[in-house]
Amino acid sequence: MTGLMLKRALGVLLCGAFASAFMGASAGRAAIEQAKAKADATRGREIFLEQKCILCHKVGDSGGVLGPELTTVGERKDAAWLVKYLPKPQAFDPKNKMPPVAVTGQDLDDLVAYLVSLKGRTRGD
């Protein structure tokens, strides 16, 4: 192969790799957006209560004080972070006392939708 042919082949290969990576990232973002659109924050609140999260975490005027106050968690954390954190809190901090959240799939998506909806207002506001 001549130098020019090698440069062209490398250019085509790099363009293909870039396009593939871009399309993969684009598809990943689309899947996240689709999951968010299907998530139900109202059901997420029910899961929050069923899982007894309220025993340790305060939301508005209700809840415990052992864990962080969550009334504004939606201003501080995004869905992607919460999806990674909730099932494995000790992976972020080995000293963390929070038990892993025992929900997966749609229930986890709904719980996360509820948490990201918490931006400082209580249900009565």
Residue-level pLDDT at 3: 53
Strand partners, 63: 58
Nearest Cα to Cα of residue 110 among 36, 51, 22: 36
Tens of pLDDT, residue by residue, the chain (125 residues): 455 444 554 444 444 444 444 445 555 555 455 555 689 999 999 999 999 999 999 999 999 999 999 999 999 999 999 999 999 999 999 999 999 999 999 999 999 999 999 998 655 44
DSSP string, 7-73: HHHHHHHHHHHHHHHHHHHHHHHHHHHHHHHH--HHHHHHHHHHTTGGGT-EETTEE-SSS---TTH
**pLDDT score of 19:** 43
- Give residue 36's pLDDT: 54
Locus of tokens 């968690």 = 73
